[in-house]
Structures are given as C-alpha cells and as structure tokens.
Structure 1
Amino acid sequence: MPWMLPEDRFNDCGWGCAYRSLQTLVSWFQRQQYTRKPIPSHREAQQILVKLGDKARDFIGSQNWIGAIELSYILDEYLGVTSKILTVNRGSDIPSHARELAAHFKSQGTPVMIGGGVLAYTLLGVAFDDTTGECAFLILDPHYTGGEDLKKIQGGTWVGWKKPGDSAAAGGPLFVRDAFYNFLCPQCPKAV
C-alpha cells in the first residue's frame, strides 16, 4: 500500500516526499500556534508555485518533484515564513555541518527539509558532541508505505536517529556520498 494521508487517501508514492516534508513543516507551525491555516494538499502547493510564476500551469495536478527552493517559496507565500538554505555539495560533507544544524535547532527549533540526491527527508534534531565531533541526525523519512502502524513507524526505521553512513529507511545510503543537498531551515516569525 503506497503512503497516503489517512484523511485523503492520496497516493504520492515515488514523487511526494518533499510535499510530505512541507506538510510536516506546516503542521509544526500549526502546533506552535504560529498559524491556523490548514496543511496544504499537494495540489494547493503546486497552485502556489504556479501563482508565483515558478512553474507553468501544467504543473498543477502533475507528479513532478519539488525541492527545498520550492518549499521556501511556498512557506513564504503561504505562511509568511522566511527560510535559510544551507547547501552542501557532497553528502559525505554533511557531518561537517552538524554543529551549524544543531545551532539551528537551538535558535529556531523548526524542522528542516532536506532535499537532494534523489530523496527528501525531514530533519527533526541533531545530536552533536563538541569534544569528539560525533553526530547523529533525527530523521523523519516520508517514504513509509504501510498502514497506520505507529509501532512500525516509530520503531527507529522511519523516524529515528541516524549516524553518518547509516542506511535510509527505504534502503540505500541516507546521504549519497557525491550528491548535493539543500537544507531548508525555516525561521520562526518574529513577534511584533
């Protein structure tokens, strides 16, 4: 059974991972009471990109991938949330940015969308040891293809701590050694 939201039974298997990450980010802003806007559907996200002129009209209803840059446009337009983007040229270099990513969680707390290689993930936290330089990443993997089995989802495979060199839940390396990655780091709105 492909991954589907329980409330809409929408099949996005093979192309929807970044959209799922977007929905996780918007959900976080809801739970922190920054917004009451609903979580956008894939189609609504596509409509925003067309409205902004980033995509042609035939993008709406397609199964085309989006990445961190598109998510930044959507978050800005939909929620008024700006984002910083950390670009890492090689997956093997990601551990050297663990300190910077850990600082994001201390200062902002927002989940981070990871786009690159051929998959998207959502980063929920970073463990970084200043003394040894060892690090681990709390990854929410939107590629889960099963029923609503929380034990299976939360059992460390689909949501869990991953160290450099670990495999992704869907198989293969978590970070492809020679692929580039964009880390979309949404910024919390400033209180007025």
Structure 2
Amino acid sequence: MNSENLVEVLTSKKKLQMIFDSPAPERVVQELAAIEIYQIIEDVGLENSFEIFQMATPEQARVILDLALWDEWSISLDETIKWLELILSAESEFALSLLSHIDLELLILLLKKTLIVGGGVADIIGSEDLHDDWDHTFDEVFFLRIEAEEHSDLIMKMLELLYNENHKLYRSLMLGAECELITELEESAYRFRTARLEDEGIYE
C-alpha cells in the first residue's frame, strides 16, 4: 500500500469513528454524499462499515450499490452475493425495505444468474413444467431449479422473505426471471445506474 492509499484509509477510518462518536450518527450519514459513504466502505471494508450503509437513505443506498456491484457493463455475481449476505443478515425490516427500493431489473438479473424459473400465472395444469425436475416451489405456481448450488441457501432465504412479506415483489421477480432476457435486463439496469451516477456528478 503506497502512502497516498494509506492516508485515504486512515482518513476513512477517522470519518467512520467520527460518525459512530456522533450523538446522531444516522443524520450524519444521511448528510454525506453517497460516494463518500461508498469510499469509507471501500477503504475500511464492508464488514467493518456495513452499519453506516444501514443508516443511509434508500437513494444513497442505490448509488452505493451502483458503485459496488457492477463490473464494467455487467453486475458482478460475487460482489452482489457478498452484499446480499450482509443485507439478509440484518433486521428483516431493513432487508425488506432495501430490496423494495433496489431496481427490479437488478434483482431479476441476480435470479437469472443463479436459478431457472418455470410455471407462472398461466394455466399450468398439464403443462410440461409440472413434469420437469424442479428443486423447489413456494406456491405450486412458480417452480425453481437452482443453477448455482453454492448460493442456493442465500437466494432461497431472500425469496422466502419476499414470498412471506412482499408477495407482489416476489411475483414480479418470478415473472421477470422466467421471461426476461439477461441482455435487455442489463441494458436497462445499466441505463438506470448511469443516470443516477450522473445525477451525483459521477461520470465513468
């Protein structure tokens, strides 16, 4: 680590400590630019600073994820899984709120990269989907086949939470994961991301 990077890390650690020492840390976080919060997280590590992410507004959180989850034109599955693990380990109220504010396209992309969805709202009696080899169904309407076994527990935890607590979002994700194309989803999600970053004065 060169001296310039060391100074940045030390500065971020100092900022983080100042936030925690403040009598109103949530207000301090929400007055920061989203990129400042992201830089603190990058410098001191996600596990050491996730608490300030939980204090961010939904608008700040979206920008932070815009900066954290993308690898050029595509979302990074590894980064997305890392963040999702911490999001789902937090209070369910926080996780539900954040998931409801994240771009739908981003969540569908995560599902498209980890599982296959069959069934759907059409009449599936006699459908070929009923005779396929599926791993799970929550409702006997949508059927799931896990493609990324190493992430199956985490993805199922997210879907179970949404199925029980935000069924409208769950249904939208199932329909999108079954029908949408990855290329079109990434194009839309990237366009939304770029617009948000430019609103923050961030140009890549």
* TM above 0.5: no
Q: TM-score range by the shorter chain?
A: under 0.3
Using structure 1 for the length normalisation, give the TM-score: 0.25
Larger radius of gyration: 2
Report the structure, 1 or 2, having the larger strand content: 1
Higher relative contact order (CA 8 A, sep 6+): 1
Report the structure, 1 or 2, having the larger helix content: 2
